[in-house]
Amino acid sequence: MLRSVISELLNIEYPIIQGGMAWLGTAELVSAVSNAGGLGVIGAGSAPPSWLVEQINSTRALTSKPFGVNIMLMSPFVDEVVEVVIQEEVPIVTTGGGNPGIYVARLKQAGIKVMPVVASVALAKRLERLKVDAIIVEGMESGGHIGETTTMALIPQVVDNVATPVVAAGGIADGRGLAAALALGARGIQMGTRFVCTTECIAHPKFKQKILGASDHATMVTGQFLGHPLRCLRNKMTHEFLMREQAADSKEELEQMGLGKFYAGVIEGDVESGSLMAGQIAGLIREIKPVKMIIEEIVAEAEAVITKLPSYSCRESE
Protein backbone atom coordinates (compact mmCIF):
# COMPACT_ATOMS: atom_id res chain seq x y z
CA MET A 1 0.00 0.00 0.00
CA LEU A 2 2.81 2.40 0.79
CA ARG A 3 4.43 2.05 -2.59
CA SER A 4 4.44 5.35 -4.48
CA VAL A 5 5.99 7.08 -7.47
CA ILE A 6 8.97 7.75 -5.20
CA SER A 7 9.58 4.11 -4.26
CA GLU A 8 9.15 3.18 -7.95
CA LEU A 9 11.54 5.92 -9.08
CA LEU A 10 14.23 4.94 -6.59
CA ASN A 11 13.64 1.19 -6.88
CA ILE A 12 13.12 0.83 -3.12
CA GLU A 13 10.39 -0.79 -1.02
CA TYR A 14 9.07 2.16 1.01
CA PRO A 15 9.14 5.89 0.14
CA ILE A 16 11.25 6.69 3.19
CA ILE A 17 14.52 8.58 2.67
CA GLN A 18 17.22 9.20 5.24
CA GLY A 19 18.32 12.84 5.43
CA GLY A 20 21.92 13.22 4.24
CA MET A 21 23.37 14.27 7.58
CA ALA A 22 27.02 15.37 7.58
CA TRP A 23 29.26 12.97 9.59
CA LEU A 24 26.23 10.83 10.56
CA GLY A 25 25.12 9.59 7.14
CA THR A 26 27.92 7.02 7.05
CA ALA A 27 28.03 3.49 5.60
CA GLU A 28 26.68 2.01 8.89
CA LEU A 29 23.43 4.02 8.86
CA VAL A 30 23.10 4.26 5.07
CA SER A 31 23.34 0.49 4.51
CA ALA A 32 20.91 -0.18 7.39
CA VAL A 33 18.28 2.16 5.91
CA SER A 34 18.70 0.75 2.39
CA ASN A 35 18.66 -2.86 3.65
CA ALA A 36 15.42 -2.08 5.53
CA GLY A 37 13.70 -0.97 2.30
CA GLY A 38 14.22 2.80 2.52
CA LEU A 39 16.87 4.97 0.87
CA GLY A 40 20.08 5.46 2.85
CA VAL A 41 21.99 8.63 1.95
CA ILE A 42 25.68 9.33 2.61
CA GLY A 43 26.12 12.87 3.97
CA ALA A 44 29.08 14.34 2.10
CA GLY A 45 28.87 17.50 4.24
CA SER A 46 32.15 19.41 4.05
CA ALA A 47 34.27 16.25 4.07
CA PRO A 48 37.07 15.80 1.51
CA PRO A 49 36.38 13.66 -1.58
CA SER A 50 38.61 10.81 -0.31
CA TRP A 51 36.29 10.39 2.70
CA LEU A 52 33.30 10.14 0.36
CA VAL A 53 34.99 7.48 -1.80
CA GLU A 54 35.68 5.40 1.34
CA GLN A 55 32.06 5.72 2.46
CA ILE A 56 30.75 4.71 -0.96
CA ASN A 57 32.99 1.61 -0.96
CA SER A 58 32.01 0.68 2.61
CA THR A 59 28.31 1.13 1.82
CA ARG A 60 28.62 -1.12 -1.24
CA ALA A 61 30.25 -3.78 0.94
CA LEU A 62 27.24 -3.69 3.30
CA THR A 63 24.30 -3.46 0.91
CA SER A 64 23.40 -4.30 -2.67
CA LYS A 65 20.33 -2.02 -2.50
CA PRO A 66 20.16 1.51 -3.96
CA PHE A 67 21.63 4.31 -1.86
CA GLY A 68 22.34 8.01 -2.39
CA VAL A 69 24.82 10.76 -1.65
CA ASN A 70 23.81 14.16 -0.28
CA ILE A 71 25.87 16.98 -1.77
CA MET A 72 26.09 19.93 0.60
CA LEU A 73 26.38 22.89 -1.73
CA MET A 74 28.28 25.08 0.76
CA SER A 75 31.11 22.50 0.94
CA PRO A 76 34.53 23.77 -0.16
CA PHE A 77 34.81 20.46 -2.06
CA VAL A 78 31.48 20.63 -3.89
CA ASP A 79 32.97 20.38 -7.41
CA GLU A 80 35.14 17.39 -6.47
CA VAL A 81 32.18 15.72 -4.73
CA VAL A 82 30.14 16.04 -7.94
CA GLU A 83 32.99 14.35 -9.84
CA VAL A 84 33.18 11.53 -7.26
CA VAL A 85 29.47 10.67 -7.48
CA ILE A 86 29.73 10.53 -11.28
CA GLN A 87 32.94 8.47 -11.29
CA GLU A 88 31.60 6.08 -8.68
CA GLU A 89 28.26 5.70 -10.49
CA VAL A 90 26.23 6.58 -7.41
CA PRO A 91 22.61 6.05 -8.50
CA ILE A 92 20.90 8.88 -6.57
CA VAL A 93 21.92 12.34 -5.38
CA THR A 94 20.16 14.69 -2.98
CA THR A 95 21.43 18.24 -2.45
CA GLY A 96 21.13 20.75 0.37
CA GLY A 97 22.07 24.21 1.51
CA GLY A 98 21.65 26.00 -1.80
CA ASN A 99 20.57 25.97 -5.43
CA PRO A 100 22.10 22.95 -7.26
CA GLY A 101 21.05 24.33 -10.69
CA ILE A 102 24.55 24.42 -12.23
CA TYR A 103 25.13 20.72 -11.49
CA VAL A 104 21.77 19.18 -12.46
CA ALA A 105 22.37 18.64 -16.19
CA ARG A 106 25.79 17.03 -15.63
CA LEU A 107 24.46 14.67 -12.94
CA LYS A 108 21.45 13.70 -15.04
CA GLN A 109 23.63 13.13 -18.10
CA ALA A 110 25.60 10.63 -16.00
CA GLY A 111 22.33 8.75 -15.35
CA ILE A 112 22.04 9.89 -11.75
CA LYS A 113 18.58 10.57 -10.27
CA VAL A 114 18.60 14.05 -8.75
CA MET A 115 16.44 15.11 -5.80
CA PRO A 116 17.29 18.59 -4.49
CA VAL A 117 16.16 19.69 -1.03
CA VAL A 118 14.37 23.04 -1.22
CA ALA A 119 12.68 25.31 1.30
CA SER A 120 10.61 27.47 -1.08
CA VAL A 121 8.09 27.28 -3.92
CA ALA A 122 10.30 29.52 -6.09
CA LEU A 123 13.30 27.16 -6.04
CA ALA A 124 11.06 24.11 -6.55
CA LYS A 125 9.64 25.71 -9.72
CA ARG A 126 13.09 26.66 -10.99
CA LEU A 127 14.44 23.14 -10.46
CA GLU A 128 11.41 21.52 -12.08
CA ARG A 129 12.40 23.31 -15.29
CA LEU A 130 15.77 21.51 -15.10
CA LYS A 131 13.88 18.20 -14.97
CA VAL A 132 14.97 16.99 -11.56
CA ASP A 133 13.47 13.60 -10.71
CA ALA A 134 11.81 14.57 -7.41
CA ILE A 135 11.87 17.52 -5.04
CA ILE A 136 12.46 17.14 -1.31
CA VAL A 137 10.58 19.96 0.38
CA GLU A 138 11.89 20.79 3.82
CA GLY A 139 9.98 22.77 6.43
CA MET A 140 11.64 24.89 9.12
CA GLU A 141 10.96 22.22 11.76
CA SER A 142 14.06 20.45 10.42
CA GLY A 143 17.43 20.33 12.07
CA GLY A 144 20.40 22.15 10.59
CA HIS A 145 20.21 24.77 7.85
CA ILE A 146 16.56 25.73 7.36
CA GLY A 147 14.18 27.97 5.41
CA GLU A 148 11.35 30.09 6.81
CA THR A 149 8.16 28.11 6.20
CA THR A 150 6.72 25.16 8.08
CA THR A 151 6.24 21.73 6.51
CA MET A 152 2.46 21.96 6.98
CA ALA A 153 2.27 25.22 5.01
CA LEU A 154 5.01 24.56 2.44
CA ILE A 155 4.24 21.04 1.17
CA PRO A 156 0.78 21.73 -0.29
CA GLN A 157 1.99 25.00 -1.81
CA VAL A 158 4.83 23.25 -3.63
CA VAL A 159 2.57 20.34 -4.60
CA ASP A 160 0.16 22.82 -6.23
CA ASN A 161 2.95 24.49 -8.19
CA VAL A 162 4.94 21.58 -9.62
CA ALA A 163 4.15 18.28 -11.35
CA THR A 164 7.40 16.69 -10.12
CA PRO A 165 6.86 14.25 -7.21
CA VAL A 166 7.40 15.84 -3.79
CA VAL A 167 9.01 14.27 -0.72
CA ALA A 168 8.19 15.92 2.62
CA ALA A 169 10.89 16.66 5.20
CA GLY A 170 10.92 18.44 8.53
CA GLY A 171 9.02 17.44 11.64
CA ILE A 172 8.39 13.81 10.68
CA ALA A 173 9.40 10.89 12.92
CA ASP A 174 6.51 8.41 12.97
CA GLY A 175 3.68 6.88 10.95
CA ARG A 176 1.31 9.74 11.74
CA GLY A 177 3.81 12.10 10.15
CA LEU A 178 4.11 9.88 7.08
CA ALA A 179 0.31 9.70 6.71
CA ALA A 180 0.06 13.49 7.17
CA ALA A 181 2.73 14.08 4.51
CA LEU A 182 0.81 11.88 2.07
CA ALA A 183 -2.40 13.76 2.93
CA LEU A 184 -0.65 17.03 2.03
CA GLY A 185 0.21 15.65 -1.40
CA ALA A 186 3.75 14.41 -0.82
CA ARG A 187 4.65 10.96 -2.19
CA GLY A 188 7.26 10.11 0.42
CA ILE A 189 9.16 11.40 3.44
CA GLN A 190 12.70 12.21 4.46
CA MET A 191 13.73 11.93 8.12
CA GLY A 192 16.98 12.94 9.80
CA THR A 193 16.59 13.26 13.57
CA ARG A 194 14.67 9.97 13.90
CA PHE A 195 17.55 8.11 12.24
CA VAL A 196 20.10 9.60 14.66
CA CYS A 197 18.55 7.66 17.54
CA THR A 198 19.22 4.25 16.00
CA THR A 199 21.59 1.51 17.05
CA GLU A 200 23.36 1.82 13.69
CA CYS A 201 23.99 5.59 13.67
CA ILE A 202 27.55 6.44 14.74
CA ALA A 203 26.46 9.62 16.60
CA HIS A 204 28.00 9.95 20.08
CA PRO A 205 25.79 8.32 22.76
CA LYS A 206 25.61 11.67 24.60
CA PHE A 207 24.05 13.32 21.52
CA LYS A 208 21.53 10.48 21.20
CA GLN A 209 20.67 10.87 24.90
CA LYS A 210 20.17 14.64 24.46
CA ILE A 211 17.59 13.90 21.75
CA LEU A 212 15.85 11.30 23.94
CA GLY A 213 15.64 13.87 26.75
CA ALA A 214 14.42 16.68 24.48
CA SER A 215 11.10 18.48 25.02
CA ASP A 216 8.97 20.21 22.39
CA HIS A 217 10.97 23.40 23.14
CA ALA A 218 14.40 21.80 23.04
CA THR A 219 15.62 23.31 19.76
CA MET A 220 16.31 26.89 18.75
CA VAL A 221 17.43 28.77 15.66
CA THR A 222 20.70 30.70 15.55
CA GLY A 223 22.48 32.32 12.62
CA GLN A 224 19.55 34.44 11.41
CA PHE A 225 21.83 37.50 11.58
CA LEU A 226 24.38 35.68 9.39
CA GLY A 227 21.72 34.79 6.85
CA HIS A 228 22.23 31.06 7.60
CA PRO A 229 19.51 30.08 10.07
CA LEU A 230 20.49 26.86 11.82
CA ARG A 231 18.30 24.75 14.13
CA CYS A 232 20.10 22.96 16.97
CA LEU A 233 19.35 21.60 20.41
CA ARG A 234 19.68 24.37 23.00
CA ASN A 235 22.96 24.26 24.92
CA LYS A 236 25.83 26.50 26.00
CA MET A 237 26.87 26.92 22.36
CA THR A 238 23.47 28.15 21.10
CA HIS A 239 23.11 30.43 24.15
CA GLU A 240 26.51 32.06 23.61
CA PHE A 241 25.97 32.30 19.87
CA LEU A 242 22.66 34.09 20.39
CA MET A 243 24.17 36.53 22.90
CA ARG A 244 26.92 37.39 20.46
CA GLU A 245 24.44 37.73 17.59
CA GLN A 246 22.37 40.11 19.70
CA ALA A 247 25.52 42.07 20.53
CA ALA A 248 26.05 42.20 16.73
CA ASP A 249 29.54 40.72 16.84
CA SER A 250 31.26 40.69 13.46
CA LYS A 251 29.90 38.16 10.99
CA GLU A 252 33.40 36.78 10.44
CA GLU A 253 33.86 36.07 14.15
CA LEU A 254 30.45 34.40 14.38
CA GLU A 255 31.11 32.25 11.29
CA GLN A 256 34.42 31.24 12.87
CA MET A 257 32.64 30.30 16.10
CA GLY A 258 30.44 27.78 14.27
CA LEU A 259 33.20 25.98 12.34
CA GLY A 260 33.94 22.41 13.38
CA LYS A 261 31.39 22.60 16.17
CA PHE A 262 29.06 20.06 14.58
CA TYR A 263 31.70 17.29 14.56
CA ALA A 264 32.65 18.14 18.17
CA GLY A 265 29.02 17.84 19.26
CA VAL A 266 27.65 14.86 17.41
CA ILE A 267 30.76 12.66 17.02
CA GLU A 268 33.01 13.66 19.93
CA GLY A 269 30.09 14.11 22.34
CA ASP A 270 30.82 17.69 23.39
CA VAL A 271 27.11 18.30 23.96
CA GLU A 272 27.56 21.66 25.70
CA SER A 273 29.97 23.49 23.37
CA GLY A 274 29.18 21.61 20.13
CA SER A 275 26.44 22.34 17.53
CA LEU A 276 23.78 19.67 17.97
CA MET A 277 21.73 20.01 14.80
CA ALA A 278 18.34 18.36 15.35
CA GLY A 279 14.74 18.97 14.33
CA GLN A 280 11.76 20.05 16.44
CA ILE A 281 10.45 16.48 16.34
CA ALA A 282 13.29 15.50 18.74
CA GLY A 283 10.72 15.77 21.55
CA LEU A 284 8.78 12.83 20.08
CA ILE A 285 11.75 10.46 20.04
CA ARG A 286 11.94 8.36 23.18
CA GLU A 287 13.96 5.27 22.25
CA ILE A 288 17.05 4.16 20.39
CA LYS A 289 15.97 1.36 18.07
CA PRO A 290 17.37 -0.56 15.11
CA VAL A 291 16.65 1.11 11.76
CA LYS A 292 14.63 -1.86 10.49
CA MET A 293 12.27 -1.68 13.48
CA ILE A 294 11.72 2.05 13.00
CA ILE A 295 10.91 1.68 9.31
CA GLU A 296 8.56 -1.27 9.89
CA GLU A 297 6.74 0.57 12.71
CA ILE A 298 6.36 3.75 10.67
CA VAL A 299 4.97 1.89 7.68
CA ALA A 300 2.52 -0.11 9.84
CA GLU A 301 1.40 2.98 11.76
CA ALA A 302 0.90 5.04 8.58
CA GLU A 303 -1.17 2.25 7.05
CA ALA A 304 -3.29 2.01 10.22
CA VAL A 305 -3.82 5.78 10.33
CA ILE A 306 -4.80 5.95 6.66
CA THR A 307 -7.22 3.03 7.06
CA LYS A 308 -8.88 4.62 10.10
CA LEU A 309 -9.10 8.15 8.69
CA PRO A 310 -12.70 7.89 7.36
CA SER A 311 -13.95 7.09 10.89
CA TYR A 312 -12.26 10.22 12.28
CA SER A 313 -14.59 12.53 10.33
CA CYS A 314 -17.36 14.41 12.15
CA ARG A 315 -20.24 11.94 12.03
CA GLU A 316 -21.51 12.53 15.57
CA SER A 317 -24.63 14.36 14.43
CA GLU A 318 -25.64 11.59 12.01
Q: Interface with ligand TUI by CB under 6 A: which residues?
A: 22, 72, 74, 96-99, 117-119, 123, 138, 144-147, 228, 230, 258, 277
CB of 96 to ligand TUI, least distance (A): 3
Nearer to ligand TUI, 177 or 192 (CB): 192
Nearer to ligand TUI, 198 or 222 (CB): 222
Nearer to ligand TUI, 24 or 179 (CB): 24
Q: Which residue is nearest to ligand TUI (CB)?
A: 144
CB of 94 to ligand TUI, least distance (A): 9
CB of 166 to ligand TUI, least distance (A): 14
Nearer to ligand TUI, 234 or 289 (CB): 234
For the sheet containing 113-118, what is the strand order?
A: 16-18, 188-191, 166-169, 135-138, 113-118, 92-96, 67-72, 40-43
Is 72 in contact with 96 (CB distance < 8 Å)?
A: yes
CB of 315 to ligand TUI, least distance (A): 40
Exposed/middle/buried for residue 129 (C-beta within 10 Å: 0-12, 13-18, 19+):
exposed
Nearer to ligand TUI, 282 or 305 (CB): 282
CB of 71 to ligand TUI, least distance (A): 10
Nearer to ligand TUI, 136 or 299 (CB): 136
Nearer to ligand TUI, 25 or 175 (CB): 25
CB of 14 to ligand TUI, least distance (A): 22
CB of 304 to ligand TUI, least distance (A): 30
Exposed/middle/buried for residue 60 (C-beta within 10 Å: 0-12, 13-18, 19+):
middle
CB of 39 to ligand TUI, least distance (A): 16
CB of 153 to ligand TUI, least distance (A): 15
Nearer to ligand TUI, 30 or 119 (CB): 119
Exposed/middle/buried for residue 217 (C-beta within 10 Å: 0-12, 13-18, 19+):
exposed
Nearer to ligand TUI, 117 or 132 (CB): 117
Residues making up the chain, counted from first to last? 318
